[in-house]
Structure 1
Amino acid sequence: MRKVLRIAFVVLLYVFISTGIMAQSVKHNASLDTSYVVNLLDELSNEINKGNIELAKQKAREAKSISIEIDFDDGIVRSELTLVDAYLTEKLLDSAETLIQHLILTHPESKYRARMHNFEAVAYNYRENNIEAINAFNQAEKYLDRVPAESRDRMGAGITMNRASSYMKIGDRISGFESYLSSLRFAEQSGDTLILIIGLNNLGDSYTNFKEFDKAVFYLERALTLVEEKELDSERLRILMNLANAKTGQEEYSEAESLYKEALELHKKVRQNIPPYQILFNMGKLYVDMGEYDQAYEYLSESLEYCVTLNIPQGIYFNQFGLGQLYFFQKDYPKAIDWLKKAYVQAEMIGSLPMIQDAREYLYESYKLNGAYNEALVVYEEFVHVNDSLKEVESNSKIAEFRSELELDRQTELNRLLEEKQHEQEARLEIQFILILAASIVIALIFILLIQSYRATRKMEELNAQLQNQKEELEQVSKTKDKLFAIISHDLRSPLSSMQGLLYLINSDHLTLSEIKDLVKNIEPTMRKNVDTMENLLAWAREQLSGVKLSIDNINIQPVVEGVIDNHSLQIEAKNIEVHQQYTVTNALADSNALRLVVRNLITNAIKFTPKGGNIFIQSIEDSEDDNMVRFSIKDTGIGIPESMRDTLFKPFSETRRGTAQEKGSGFGLSICKEFVERMNGSLTFESKENEGSTFIIKLPKSS
């Protein structure tokens, strides 16, 4: 009676839907024929696979409207089957089942009868009515002879593939593996990529349920590679979710999280009107495994709410079980028991042994840890009884044979992939070798160019340095020339002009003898200064042109000093300077001419910069720092040397200043002195304080 009422309800609902569709249908041009409908419907399968569900439904309704108008029965059936496919993709199971039942009742002799029962089985599968699903798949097989020969095998492989999942869910692994193997063989032999993708995806999902995650990842990654080549977004979404589940099982949580998020974005595109309850559950389960319980509770609760609203038994079970696990791991055993009991009841309603066993296992542990030992014992006995049965089925030789065959296929594929990778690696290595060789040649050429450039740069720098030195030398020579000409043209010219004037006066008989003597007496110091300057210039010129060859010998310093003092007695008397001499060591190794020039320059400088009534102290003693050296010093009580002149004092033609009686100097006497002293293996230094005087110290080797 209930079945009759259900059929009547389906028929009435179909009449209502058909009436609405007819009322809204557009009046088509009579020129529209069956070929237009067929072409339109041929496009829809791809649109559904790409996730364009709303577009597919819109075109299916258009095709149905045209088919009714032109009385094209085949077009009507195909349009409604396309709508069923779209409803199943959207998980609108009530709409899908209603339309399927209507098609079976109204078109019992249709050539699409096998497809009707296949869709019916898929709907049962989604509701976890696995036994009904298997029966429906078997019904579909009975009507394969109505399917056109060119698509019969493909249809049969699809039915076999879908039935394999149902077998796996009820624990019949023998039939499941047999069905998977059969459909995969067909897909590989026929080159049917879509069947192969679905088969690999389902097989990977089954291995995840068996906790054989490495095999699951292998099949799912292979399926993902194929689906990306075909751009089938709906299948890609399923594969991403299943692969994320397998990665979670492998505890590769970061990669699993990325895959779930990618699936969530893709879901928004291909299933806009369907809540992503399955992805939300999987993400909740992932966060349970990661120990992020607050986030896990949020995702699981949201997923459970969607599943209850949509009446999805399997989704309700998994979310209830997930919440039970969450509280179990948090050691809140009363709440864990509450959720696990709900999951256990739901698993029994579904009739899935694996689900029942999972719920029993956690219920047993929760009861035991909560101290409810009687309840724990009851659940444990039920668990062991069913588990033994499952193990017995698992050990069956037939299932072992199918699994071995699948594993052999997997290993063969792995070997093929390894060979491909090896060839790719060899090709890459060959290319890398060529690139490395080319790079090495380029680097060698660059290195050679750099060396050449470096050498050229070094040579250029050396030439620049030489040019700079020559420039500085030329500048110095130019300055020396200018200074020399200034000395000759001014300092030497003035006294000679005075001498010329004196000679003119003497020849003219205008002067008395007394006046001539006074003039000669006055001009004598100037002439003496000129003679000193000329000697310095001659010594400097010889040194610059060819170098003076010194003759080092045992020299008595005292006579040299006294001779210089006698020659400059008039300048000393004119400034009323007292000269004090002290000699304890008089012999030194020196050149007599060079020593005389040095002593003369130092004494004339002391006279020049000492005011009237001053003193000059000349001392020759043994050096206190070195017994082998003579310390000869000339100290004056003059005006001293300013700080600004001390650094350049011994440089040729350095800055000069006038003496205390406005005496002028040439500026190169001290430089000649220092050079000659050092060539006699000695040293020349000075000490000075402004307005207190200066001391010039000569150190020469002591003679034996």
Structure 2
Amino acid sequence: MMRCFIRMVCIMVLCHAEVRAQYPSEGDLIIALRKYPKADSVKLKLYDQVFRYYGSRQQYDPMELYLDSVRILSARLNLKNKLYDALYRAALFYHSKTRYSEALAHYQESYAIADASNNTYGMARVLLNTGAIYMDSKDYVKALEKNQQAIPMYEKLGMKREVGSCYMNIAEVFTDLNQIDKAFPYLNLALGLFIQNGPNSRGVGVVSEAMGVAFMKAKDQDLINLGVLPSQRYNHALEHFKKALPIAFIEDDPALAASINANIGEVYGLLGDHTKAKQYFETVMNLDQKHDYHVSSSKNKIRYAQYFFSQKNYTAGLQIARAAVAIADRYKIPGNLQNAYELISKIYEQSGNYDSALLYYQQYVVIKDSLFNAEKEREITRKQLVLDFEVKEKEYRYNRQLLDNELKQQVLLAATQRDQLALAKKEKDVQQLLFLQQRTKLQNEAGLQAAAFQQQKNKSDYDRAIAKKQIDNQQLELRFNKYLNLFFLISVIVLLIGGTIIFYSQRKAKKLNLIISEQKNSLQELLHVKDQLLGTISHDMRTPINSLISFTHLLENSQISQEKLKVYASQLKNTLGYTQGLMDNLLKWASIQMKGFSPQLIQLHLNEVIQQALSGFSDSILQKQLKIQQDIDIDVDVLADKEMLLCVIRNLISNAIKFSYQNGTIRIHTAKDSRGSYLIIQDEGIGIPADKLKYINDPVAKVVNSSLGTSQEKGNGLGVLLCKSFVHLMKGSIHFNSSLGHGTSVRIDFENC
């Protein structure tokens, strides 16, 4: 598999340049350092030369000694850039020899200095190198994070090749995760940037190899989406590998050449041409002896061993796989060590040696679980969405610019057409004016004739109106009497209807006032809860943060014993654990208040949920030496939301442990009765006062003021609120029963399935 050759080869070239540099001898450097009396920039340069001398020769103990001298003197002289260069150089020395833990420590220290000095380039190259380390270690979450942070920095500096390296690393993550449809866009972005440095540049070779690997690993549907027939995958892969191979030799890069030859050998093996496959793999073994990039050499040996395994040559495959294990174990390369253990387990299984197969498979599972889990997968998905958004945002800006240019052209065209229309309109207005003048003349003549006729008509109408008015007055008097009687009748009806409407309006107003009053009380209660939560957060979140700061100061400025370190770390762990529980409950409560929780009610085995909840409290139970008595009917099923039910049971068990005395007993009982299924959790702890118990069982009660546990454990009162809210959402009921000094019992009733 292709690795981050661009970064690693650059690191190796820099370190080898240190070896080839014409340093004075070790004795001359030490003598010159001792003879120079002043603590100034000259002495700092001498310290730096001695530090680089030992680092280039892999003598790490004296290198670290003189690096400390550089650290102290540069701080005294306020030369932060000199200290950054020294720390970054030390990280490169370790990185080139795959001593990743030491390299990461020095990278992190140099990043802090660059960040404090606003050194964008210094921060960016540290992020890119640490991202390469996390990729080799298969920590894809951190690899994505580091490359994602480096991209905007390099873009700001206009360093396109480094931006391409970041895109290359992101594509490699998705290739390793077999998400080829997500890898290809980043490969194309990287190729577009690398090709600007020439068609035979190292970056073009690396991208070509990566595209070949992507074609080999792609699913049939991915290939169809790319317009490639699945039967042509190996032809396309060989085309890209053979395009990349000459570039590797031009660049005199044996590590890259070995990786490409291994890919070609694998393709010929899959095509059935085993003569060519062995030739290319033997070339790989020879090339691996010419470089010390151990990640690549161990991976190539694993691929050669896999080829022998596919040919059922188990003896040769086992020998080469063990050589890969030796390299990966020595240089702490967990990803390759995982793959080698898995392959050895398969070889032993096919050979009939099942004990050895099981042993190596167990080692493979241990490493696999330490490298990758569901939480990291969700984090990778989240970071991939962020990266996709950034890429699409750039495409949107580019398309928007094109659209703006087209829009300007359309505006100019519209302006020209508008001028033409205005000229035509003026001509039309002149013609219309002439028409209006002629029409006005004709209308005036017609108006004079109509006026004379109207005068004669008005006189006739006046005479008829006088006669009609007399008749109308008589009829009006009769209608008035009739309407007066009707008015009195309607008035009575209207008064009755109005009275009825007023009565019902007042009744409705009373109901609305009652509803408003209830909503006001609910809002006041929520405001009170908000004030309590803000007070809890402001106090409880400050404590772990202050503890972290104090613990950091202790680590930086004090020499503390291992025993005290363990005590402080344990206290810090407890504080952070409490804070984690607080935030978890707080977020769930907030989701309920915002109507964000919609329970998915399904049939659950209550026993399985209880056991899953108990599994997270083994340390707390052991610490207080508590006994858990389980009287559980394994046939009890309930209708509930699994996550909500888990949260409820965890909170109740947590409270039972918190308020139990040493060597106490916690009882968990499940059963069925005529109303349905129920769960009881009972402890022998300090109990709850009667007034507080009444408040807890109040259906409208909110946050409960928490008390300290028997071992001074703190709480926040959200747990009980969450339990009551979740049980209500799942259409169940919960009741607390307690006596001060005699423990507490909580019963949850569920509906029938």
TM-score (structure 2 length as normaliser): 0.40
From the CA coordinates, give the structure whose radius of gyration is larger.
1
